Amino acid sequence: MEKRYLTVSALNRYLKAKIDSDSQLQRILIKGEVSNFKHHSSGHFYFTLKDEHSRINAVMFSSKASKVPFDLTNGMKVLVQASVSVYDVAGTYQLYVDTIEQDGLGNLFLKYEQLKKQLASEGLFNPENKLVIPKFPSKIAVLSAYPSAALADIIRTIHLRFPVVRVIVFPIPVQGKDAYLEIIRTLRYVDTLGFSEIIIARGGGSLEDLWNFNEEGLARAIYQCKTPIISGVGHEVDFTICDFVADYRAATPTAAAIKATPDLFELQQAVDNIKYTLNNLMKQKIILNKENLNRLKSFYLFKNPQKMFEDKTAKIDYLYDQLNNVFNHDLIEKQNKASNLIQTFNHQANLFTLNQRNRLDTINRTMSLEIKRKLQHNQEKFYYSLSKLNTLSPLKTLERGYAIVLKEDHVISSVDDLNSGDKIELKLHNGIKKAIIE
């Protein structure tokens, strides 16, 4: 019996027909987490729907995708109404989504958003903290999986654009549990080697595949680096925490290589354009100078230099006369002004001297009167004090018949101080007499 072989296309069509004929698969309700989301330019949605243990590809055509009232993002939990069919070209089965609703955020996506908000509040994403990517690097470090398509694209792009730069590859794990720890160790080591810039890159993938580049430790290590860092992780739609904290975020690894290097061909073109412009300017300058030289050669004064000398001599004579006139006129004016000032000064000096002399005479008269008045007042006050002093003088009292009793040169003021036989002195106004008390 002859064996009949099916073609691959026939098998895929058969399986598609079998699945399409199963009514249980034409309207199913399924929930899961969105991953690898892509909004195609055609308007279609392509993504993977997954749970903890499995995943399935899904597509939502633009006619239905345009009615979705929210932005579909990686990590979002959704409720889907769809049908199952086979994409016979690739031989894969997938969901054809009719409607989709939100069912909360996935744990990884929620963790991603929380860390992003925290680091942003600490200033790790601030533009003023980012280093400038050098325009003409001498040495570039590339941290990527080796070998990988992303690394090959970077090396090829750099060699095409700027082949004079030195590129050194530092292999790193870009996926798997705790791979970010090895990335941190490599990054810190490379940061000490004096590279012009560092490229961190890997190809696209799901949120889980890229998760090592969302780790807080790696983000802080990038922020602390002294070398400018370009992040080229994932595809254009992929955003990681490293993208936000790096000094420059490139949409793809190839875009990272383009940012890291100038285009040597463009530089050569720019140099050629400058050379062309300079040559034209020099030619124009030479032509202009030749025209000026020819014009000067034909200038009539150069053919008759005596004329120029005569004109200058006549002008000097004219200026000399003008200067003398101005000088003489100014001198006369200054002399007249000086004479007027001297007369004014003499007149003012005489007035000032007369006024001061009158003032001095007035002061002298006032002082003389004041001195006489003061002397008379003091004399009267002196005579009054002298009269008062005489009135109070003990001598005046003695003249009225009183005497002062002295015992041993001490004045006796009470009879109790005297005893019989005491020798005393009696001081009168006109002398002293001695006596004995009985």
Which helix (H) or strand (E) segment holds residue 97: the answer is strand 92-105
Q: Looking at the DSSP assignment, which residues form a beta bridge with residue 198?
A: 141, 229
Residue spans of the domains in the chain: they are 8-102, 108-262, 299-392, 399-437
Least confident of 113-117, 140-144, 231-235, 320-324: 320-324
- Confidence check: pLDDT of 189 > 70: yes
Long-range contacts of 284-291 (CB under 8 A, 24+ apart): none
Least confident of 158-162, 207-211, 284-288, 361-365: 207-211
**Three-class secondary structure of residue 50 per DSSP:** strand
Q: CA dist 425 to 309, 329, 368, 433, Å?
A: 132, 109, 55, 6
Over range 227-252, report the average pLDDT.
92
Report the pLDDT value the prediction gives residue 63, as an integer from 0 to 100.
92
Least confident of 51-55, 146-150, 300-304, 337-341: 300-304
Q: Looking at the DSSP assignment, which residues form a beta bridge with residue 169?
A: 142
Phi first, then psi: what are they for 396, rounded to 5°? Answer: -60, -40
Burial class (CB within 10 angstroms; exposed 0-12, middle 13-18, buried 19+) of 389: exposed
Average pLDDT over the chain, rounded to whole? Answer: 87
CATH architecture of structural domain 108-262: 3-Layer(aba) Sandwich (3.40)
* Segment of 131-140, 262-271, 419-428 carrying the highest mean pLDDT: 131-140
Q: Looking at the DSSP assignment, which residues form a beta bridge with residue 59?
A: 46, 96
Report the pLDDT value the prediction gives residue 185, as an integer from 0 to 100.
96
Over range 345-356, report the average pLDDT.
86
One DSSP character per residue, 276-293 reads: HHHHHHHHHHHHHHHHHH
Report the pLDDT value the prediction gives residue 407, as an integer from 0 to 100.
79
Phi first, then psi: what are they for 4, rounded to 5°? Answer: -110, 120
Specify the residue for token string 């069919």: 85
β-pair type (197-202, 229-233): parallel
- Confidence check: pLDDT of 2 > 80: no
Q: Do residues 428 and 395 lie in contact, with contact meaning Cβ atoms separated by under 8 Å?
A: no
Confidence of residue 262 (pLDDT cuts 50, 70, 90): very high
Report the pLDDT value the prediction gives residue 353, as an integer from 0 to 100.
86
Fold of the domain built from segment(s) 8-102: OB fold (Dihydrolipoamide Acetyltransferase, E2P) (2.40.50)
Phi first, then psi: what are they for 314, rounded to 5°? Answer: -65, -40
* Higher-pLDDT residue of 7, 190: 190
Report the pLDDT value the prediction gives residue 106, as an integer from 0 to 100.
60
Over range 346-371, report the average pLDDT.
88
Say which residues have a Cβ less than 8 Å from residue 179's Cβ, sequence separation at least 6: 172, 173, 212
pLDDT in tens, 25-44: 888 999 899 999 999 999 99
Separation between Cα atoms, residue 230 and residue 132, nearest integer Å: 10
Confidence of residue 238 (pLDDT cuts 50, 70, 90): confident
Q: Do residues 251 and 236 lie in contact, with contact meaning Cβ atoms separated by under 8 Å?
A: yes
pLDDT in tens, 62-84: 999 998 888 888 888 888 999 99
Over range 220-241, report the average pLDDT.
92
Structure tokens, 389:
């002093």
Confidence of residue 299 (pLDDT cuts 50, 70, 90): low
pLDDT above 90 coverage of the chain, percent: 40
Over range 172-201, report the average pLDDT.
94
* Higher-pLDDT residue of 186, 320: 186
Q: Do residues 215 and 180 lie in contact, with contact meaning Cβ atoms separated by under 8 Å?
A: yes
Report the pLDDT value the prediction gives residue 165, as an integer from 0 to 100.
94
Report the pLDDT value the prediction gives residue 159, as an integer from 0 to 100.
94
Q: Do residues 47 and 37 lie in contact, with contact meaning Cβ atoms separated by under 8 Å?
A: yes
- Confidence check: pLDDT of 55 > 70: yes
* Higher-pLDDT residue of 396, 84: 84
